[in-house]
Amino acid sequence: MSFFQRIFPILALLSFLLLIGLVWKDYDRPYLEYQRKFKALLDQKSTGSSKPVEFGFGYRQRWSKELGRVDRCETCHLGLDDPRFKDAPQPFTTHPVIAEHAYEKFGCTECHGGQGMATTVEDAHGPTENWNKALYHDNFMENSCSLCHGEYLQAQAPVLFRGQTMFFEYGCRGCHKVDGRARTVTGPPLDEMSKRVKSDWLYRWLMGPKDYWPQTKMPDAKFTSQEAADVSAFLLQGPGPEGQAMSGDAGPGKTTLLESRCTTCHTIEGKGGKTGPELSKVASKAYPERLFKVVKDPHALWSDSKMPIFGFADKDINDIVTFMSQEYMDLDLNENEAARQAQLVASGSKERGKELAVKQGCVGCHSKIEGVKEIGELGPDMSTFGVVHISLLDFGDIKVPFKERTVPNWIYNKIKSPRLFKEGLKMPDYYFSAEEATAITTYTLSLKGKEVPASYTLPLGERPSDYAPQGAFGKIVDKYRCLVCHKINGKGGEVANDLSQEGSRVQEAWIKKFMKAPDTIRPMLEERMPPFKILDPENDAIFAYCRTTLVTDKVEDLTGPVDKMALGDPQIIRDGEKLYFEKYGCNACHQINQKGGLVGPDLTETGKRLRPEWVVYYLHDPKAFVKRSVEPVYALTDKEIQALTAFVLSSRSSVTH
């Protein structure tokens, strides 16, 4: 008997045992441990019920054929559907309720990322060697919403929407194309800079924009001193400011400036609106000749400027400019320092400056740079950046542990500190906060260039309006830039109220008076409408447009019923007064004759301001027009509405409280 013959039985036995071992190894999967824990919890929660708890061990999966995904997450995440597990620890926690996202139809990974086919924790959550698309961090979760719901999700996906808005407003498309869309006009044109700004100011601005205007959208290109001087030299080519020096009165200038409520848009020493630049140091920036032109006709200098044409007389503008030149100086500026900076600029290299301007992509936000035409791609195309392959992203000199080498991490860090990864990168720094960087990252991740099957799409949210008023009204709106602050038919800003139904709302005499001299309607607000020098024909045109176009039948149709209401009847007015003060306590939020709360508009002048039909309409449903209205919806009866309307419209004359 040879050696091998002798050991044959032992080997046979060993093989058999190993076979048992294989069977055991295959049976004992990691997920069983989770499933046993879950069953224990399930038993606990079901004590007292008569039926024994049904629970099958084994893997679970959702196979969505249309999406081409197999998600086995529920193998461990067992309490997703069961509300009893709301407070259970992960992985058993109930899934938060988000509308109708049934698992059979959507699976999990379409929104959450990760490796659906896996049944072990490390493989499922990622990243692993062969699966880099890890689970999305909670911060970036909303990025998948736009796949099905489109781009206009404001309410349901606020982080995503904020990121999208910021991407637009900060001019990212100036360097990074997305779906071939046009650039945003972010910054002013840079022609004739030598006539506009002082050279030492431009040097300081390029060295650090946020030092001059903290809310500026212009990023910091981190120029060295010499580079800033070179770029300044390049931009400041040409003749200096022309025209005579101003000589006006600073006193009246100050008055006019304060009355004109410039802080609605501009900040002065940090206080004010977000639309225009900081003004408290403007004299050290701009030449008075230029300031004059800006105040007189900003549109001639920059057709996309948000600043309205006020219609001041030249003398008034002179006064304003004189005041600004005297008062709005940079008091921290050392004169020797300023002179040194001006000298640096004077001896700067224009050629080098032009090279730098091209390299840094100034043309991405600014137009009319002398000699610099369209220069094509400055940064990578972002149309599908959300699903870029990780091997294409360079972490540079930073040592990143494998688990953190993911696309979201790279994008977030890049946005937060653009030159972090290594020397020689050129994306400028926006000094975004963590929240802002998160929002923009979320938006970038949503750019997947991928389409879901048609049965899955459900566009939500409001599409942007393409409302563009024409004719005389259109010209007026353009001149005074109404839509920077107001919204009409979905287009415009949200600094002031929505004017889409203004024609149904206000009385003619009042609105015409208001347009000439806007006063306070809402005591709480800081912003105030500036007093434009509206000409009478303009005023008439505005009202005509309001009364014909900005109306709604819901209010107009109330004219008949309102005529029948005896709104002058003293008894009805007294009933209304009782309802106003006692039953509904309207004075908690509204003022009449300086008594009452400050939350809502002052109601003293309502009789002259609002049309009766509007008051009736509004009381029926305060949220019908202004969805964000704070006013409670009281379900008033028709008689109560009649009484309250009568009271409010008469409030000026008969208040006794």
Partner 1 sequence: MALHTRNETFENGSATSGIPVVSKWLEDKTFGLGLINISLFVILNVTGILLMFYYAADTDRAYQDIKDLQFVITFGAIFRNMHRWSAYAMIALVFLHMSRVFYMAEYRRPRQLNWVIGWVLFLCTLIASLTGYLLPWDQKAYWGMTIMSNVMASAPIIGEKLKYVVLGGSEIGQNALSRAFDLHVKVMPLIMSFLIALHVIRNRTDDLIANPQMHGDAEVSVWPDIICRELSKFFIILIIIMVAAILFGAPLEEEANPSVTPIPAKAPWFFLGLQELLSWGAPFWFAIVIPNIVLLFAFLVPYIERGQTGGGVWLHPSRRLQNILFTAFVTVAIGLIILGAFFRGPGWRFYWPWESWPLH
SS (H, E, C) 402-457: HHHCCHHHHHHHHHHCCCCCCCCCCCCECCCCHHHHHHHHHHHHHCCCCCCCHHHC
100 interacts with partner 1 by CB under 8 A:
no
Of residues 214 and 396, the one with the C-beta less far from partner 1: 396
Applying CB under 8 A, the span of 128-136, 434-442, 599-607, 648-656 interacting with partner 1 comes to: 128-136
Question: How, if at all, do strands 595-596 and 271-272 pair?
Answer: unpaired
Of residues 19 and 468, the one with the C-beta less far from partner 1: 19
Is residue 264 exposed (0-12), middle (13-18) or buried (19+ Cβ within 10 Å)? buried
Q: How far is the CB of 392 from partner 1 (least distance, A)?
A: 8
Q: Are 127 and 405 in contact (CB under 8 A)?
A: yes
Task: Measure Cα distances from 268 to 248, 273, 494, 571 in Å.
Answer: 21, 9, 21, 52
510 interacts with partner 1 by CB under 8 A:
no
Of residues 124 and 644, the one with the C-beta less far from partner 1: 124
Beta-bridge partners for 556: none
Q: Give the closest residue to 511 by CA, choosing from 410, 605, 387.
A: 605
What does the alpha-carbon distance between residue 551 and residue 499 come to, in Å, rounded to a whole number?
10
Q: Which two tokens stand for residue 414?
A: 């890049």
26 interacts with partner 1 by CB under 8 A:
yes
Of residues 117 and 541, the one with the C-beta less far from partner 1: 117
22 interacts with partner 1 by CB under 8 A:
yes
Residues 6+ apart with CB under 8 A from 50: none
118 interacts with partner 1 by CB under 8 A:
yes
Among 19, 245, 387, 598, binds partner 1 (CB under 8 A): 19
Applying CB under 8 A, the span of 184-192, 392-400, 434-442, 649-657 interacting with partner 1 comes to: 392-400
Q: How far is the CB of 1 from partner 1 (least distance, A)?
A: 8
**Planar angle of CA 172, 175, 180, nearest 5 degrees:** 90
Which 39-98 positions form the footprint of partner 1 (CB under 8 A)? Answer: 59, 61, 70, 72
Q: How far is the CB of 110 from partner 1 (least distance, A)?
A: 16
402 interacts with partner 1 by CB under 8 A:
no
553 interacts with partner 1 by CB under 8 A:
no
4 interacts with partner 1 by CB under 8 A:
yes
Question: How, if at all, do strands 69-71 and 271-272 pair?
Answer: unpaired
What does the alpha-carbon distance between residue 279 and residue 260 come to, in Å, rounded to a whole number?
14
What does the alpha-carbon distance between residue 476 and residue 490 come to, in Å, rounded to a whole number?
18
28 interacts with partner 1 by CB under 8 A:
no
Of residues 53 and 392, the one with the C-beta less far from partner 1: 392
Q: Are 326 and 288 in contact (CB under 8 A)?
A: no
Residues 6+ apart with CB under 8 A from 590: 596, 597, 599, 600, 601, 602, 603
Q: How far is the CB of 202 from partner 1 (least distance, A)?
A: 36
Residues 6+ apart with CB under 8 A from 321: 246, 248, 253, 288, 291, 292, 295
Applying CB under 8 A, the span of 3-11, 89-97, 364-372, 434-442 interacting with partner 1 comes to: 3-11
Applying CB under 8 A, the span of 9-17, 177-185, 337-345, 441-449 interacting with partner 1 comes to: 9-17
Beta-bridge partners for 492: 487
**Count of residues touching partner 1 (by CB under 8 A):** 35
14 interacts with partner 1 by CB under 8 A:
yes
117 interacts with partner 1 by CB under 8 A:
yes
Q: Are 113 and 409 in contact (CB under 8 A)?
A: no
Residue 268: its H or E element: strand 267-268
5 interacts with partner 1 by CB under 8 A:
yes
12 interacts with partner 1 by CB under 8 A:
yes
Applying CB under 8 A, the span of 12-20, 135-143, 487-495, 614-622 interacting with partner 1 comes to: 12-20
Q: How far is the CB of 130 from partner 1 (least distance, A)?
A: 5
Alpha helices for 29-91 (secondary structure H): 30-45
398 interacts with partner 1 by CB under 8 A:
no
| Residue span 129-148 as binding mask against partner 1, x where in contact by CB under 8 A, dash where not | xxxx----------------
Q: How far is the CB of 410 from partner 1 (least distance, A)?
A: 12
Q: Which residues contact partner 1 (rule: CB under 8 A)?
A: 1-2, 4-5, 7-8, 11-12, 14-15, 18-19, 21-23, 25-26, 59, 61, 70, 72, 117-120, 123, 129-132, 389, 391-392, 394-395
